[in-house]
Structure 1
């Protein structure tokens, strides 16, 4: 039995135990609340939604690239419009018994404009932030333990210094600017990015780093759309190497607000309306900054201060997810995240209006960095430094544990991807339960692979497409033909 098959068996056993346990109340109060994200929408439905939105985005971008939108000249088809297309002979359906994915397809790696890749990348980025928070807490604990042992040579370390749960100091914040429907996203996004860059540079910032023991930061951009137009804003978490009392927290809040307002006003001078007057994007005192101090066990090794924010009916969101997971969050009341613009009837907009807004969003975010870390922080916190595309490829790599149980011809896969993309999500759901007959029903014309064929693919001796009819492999595939 291969390592992949052993892994799949272990996962299946774990699922069986979990299902049995789920039928009984946990200890304590019946159905007591646990520290888990529980979205109102099941994961399978979220995946169907993502595949449907990716297809809608592709249609819009294909029309745009072909010059069908606004009379533009034809251009090269954007990479995110090609996400999911086959790159090999035959598309494999792989599962480890818990999660399923397609093999032999390309990933665009767009965190901004691809509903499927964005979910993968943001999920991994959230894990990176959680890992960094945990490692930071451990480094502070180790430093405190070393100092204590120097001062108490030969004595046993106190229990509070033996675990990192009580360590870690963080500032979680959101920065916004003034916006309305007359302001193009390219302008407001540019203003907020340049304002942030100016805020964290120069001597004033260097002095702030020393004054408040700032070790580094992670910054993410979130964009929503609502009755006041596009609303880009900055989320950030600042890692602190020391505690801040109430007065220090207030001082830092006031300093950051004033510096943010100053920098935004400075960059805003470059943005003019058609009549030549400047746009007023400068934030006010009430809405310019939201700064919250998180410390101790609530922000330690598990990367949580668990209930940082509640996103409507989506459940609690951890600190690391609030920074990274812009794809699972609705906007505030009356606003939506950009992927929702791909849904028919969103905000009562016409199809033309939604298409116009999606193209504006895609163009404004092109080649922008969504999530960034301060220089040296990833290395300091022992987090691997990968680009978005690399992260997506790593998360969906064919080398991950799992076995290819079904292979579908490219023509069938491409037709489903174009016309009924939700069926791709349904096929993955069936594969996660190893229901290959259902996979074959959803994606007809392919081959259900036997154990020997699965092992050959896992060992690198064959590719999924080798087992399709008409492909010369020297192996009888008729028995598996659907």
Structure 2
């Protein structure tokens, strides 16, 4: 049902057709499938989203705990807009996150970007350029270091789309240096007056920005922006670790990152709940017994609108340089999400043994929906971890698709070597694709330069009276 080509082929297309697929058994007794492409679509793919969001939640928890341990202060801030069943999701997302740049129009900032711009927030330089005389902004008084932002979407038949933003804001710090050299040099508790000024400013800017886009989107002062201070406590299950939580006990990392685990409530459903109902209804479950709400047509229409509205948008994003300030490695791009997925595929401990299945064999297995059975056969429930026995179990499954002869048993060393070769092949293709995009971008820049040069010559000739001045030529 998806219109996204990468998502459509997730878990089916092979990373390297020559290497096929590897069903491997880990030392922990689990099994993994190596060699399948992952789409990394955090908005669209329930499988990839679960892996990516799990890793993102771990990063966020580490960041919050690290900052509070240093003596800093963190808040979970939730931003919402007023919405109704007639409002389009794309319009609401544009209002919150801003529009995306197109060949015909530049990017237009949304209410979120308005929060962290302007002289009242950022301060103003002295007229003579003397930084010692710069006027402080709210950002300086509260000690704002950065934020982690996550956008979440739910939908209901009565109130329509409900996109909202959760953000963890790190305050109470003073930084020095620019860009890659930025470092925190002092951490302290912001004053009550500074915190109140910050919160009042953000509430005012948020509602004002939404009112300017569309007065129907403007929330009231009580519901538009909500602040909750974060604290840490020792994990009851692991006394050596700390977890972050709000005053009412919620974990902020779960609020930001694990939208895939949430059930919307309040007569709304989460996007993956739309998928669940579509699966039930197309699988023959009566409407009254199926999870979710609405007809099959309604769920399909809402899913496709959701796909279009979220395309090209970031689900989770860190303020630039915040990771380096807090000592958290990684990034937020689609490439970083894919790296997380590849790392997750290889988790579970040392690979003990496995079987290789050719491209032809795997296509036959997936086409007959036997891929799960093959994975379970590789894991084995009888406790027999012998590679030959594992190969025999997998062959018995593949025999149902008449491709038992496409299985080759591998030792642990051969599994590691084969998977390494797959990753090398994938990395090479990604490098080639990146180089191709750079060449295309340079070509577009050259084309743009030539257009600008022609336009400049045209304007010069107009000024010299060499061309008749009329509306078309202008």
Does the alignment pair 1:282 with 2:212? Answer: no
What is the Cα deviation at residue 130 of structure 1? 1.9
Deviations along 1:327-361, whole A, 9 cap, x unmatched? 11111332221011112344332222222111111
Distance 2:264 2:419 in 1: 48
CA contact (8 A) 2:65 2:232 kept: no
Contact 2:111-2:210 at 8 Å conserved across structures? yes
Q: 2: distance between equivalents of 1:379 and 1:429?
A: 43
Which residue number corresponds to residue 468 of structure 1? none
Contact 1:403 1:458 in 2 (8 A): no
Q: Deviation at 1:429?
A: 9.1
1:179 aligns with 2:83: yes
Other-structure match for 2:464: none
CA-to-aligned-CA distance 1:24-82 (integer Å, 9 cap, x gap): xxxxxxxxxxxxxxxxxxxxxxxxxxxxxxxxxxxx12xx5xxxxxxxxxxxx622212
Specify which of 424, 427, 434 is matched with residue 372 of structure 2: 424
Alpha carbons of 1:442 and 1:191: their partners in 2 closer, same or farther (altered >3 Å)? farther
Other-structure match for 1:356: 301
TM-score (norm 1): 0.63
- 1:379 is aligned to 324
Q: Distance in 2 between matches of 1:253 and 1:429?
A: 56
Corresponding residue for residue 338 of structure 2:
392
- Structure 1 residue 238: deviation in Å? 0.6
Give, in whole Å, the separation in 2 of the partners of 1:283 and 1:92.
52
Alpha-carbon contact 2:76-2:229 (below 8 Å) kept: yes
Q: Counterpart in 1 of 2:354? A: 405
Tell me, what secondary structure is at the counterpart of 2:217?
Answer: coil
Aligned pair in 2 of structure 1 residues 182, 307: CA closer, same or farther (>3 Å)? same
Confirm or deny that 1:229 pairs with 2:155: no
Asked if structure 2 preserves the Cα contact closer than 8 Å seen for 1:177 and 1:281, the reply is: yes
Q: Distance in 2 between matches of 1:441 and 1:94?
A: 16
CA distance in 2, matches of 1:428, 1:114: 22
Task: Classify the secondary structure of the residue corresponding to 1:175.
Answer: strand
- Greater Rg, structure 1 or structure 2? 2
Unmatched 5+ residue regions in structure 2? 98-109, 123-136, 173-187, 281-289, 385-389, 423-474
**Residues 419 and 239 (structure 1 numbering): CA distance in 2 closer, same or farther, change over 3 Å?**
farther
Q: Normalising by structure 2, what TM-score?
A: 0.64
1:416/1:424 contact within 8 Å kept: no
Matches within 5 A, 1:207-286: 207-226=137-156, 227-241=158-172, 242-244=188-190, 249-268=195-214, 280-286=216-222
Query: What RMSD in Å do the two structures reach over aligned CA positions?
Result: 3.3
**2:65 matches 1:120:** no
**Structure 1's 243 and 212: CA in aligned 2 closer, same or farther, altered over 3 A?**
same
CA distance in 2, matches of 1:419, 1:307: 48
Would the aligned equivalents of 1:91 and 1:407 in 2 still touch at CA under 8 Å? yes
1:370 aligns to what?
315
Change in Cα spacing, 1:439 to 1:317, as seen in structure 2 (3 Å) is: farther
Kindly report which structure 2 residues correspond to 1:57-206, keeping only aligned pairs within 5 A, or say none.
60-61=1-2, 78-84=5-11, 85-87=13-15, 88=17, 89-98=19-28, 100-138=31-69, 140=70, 167-193=71-97, 194-206=110-122
> Number of aligned pairs?
346
Within 1, Cα distance between the matches of 2:327 and 2:336?
17
Contact 1:457 1:463 in 2 (8 A): no
Q: CA deviation at 1:177?
A: 0.0
The SS at the match of 1:375 is coil
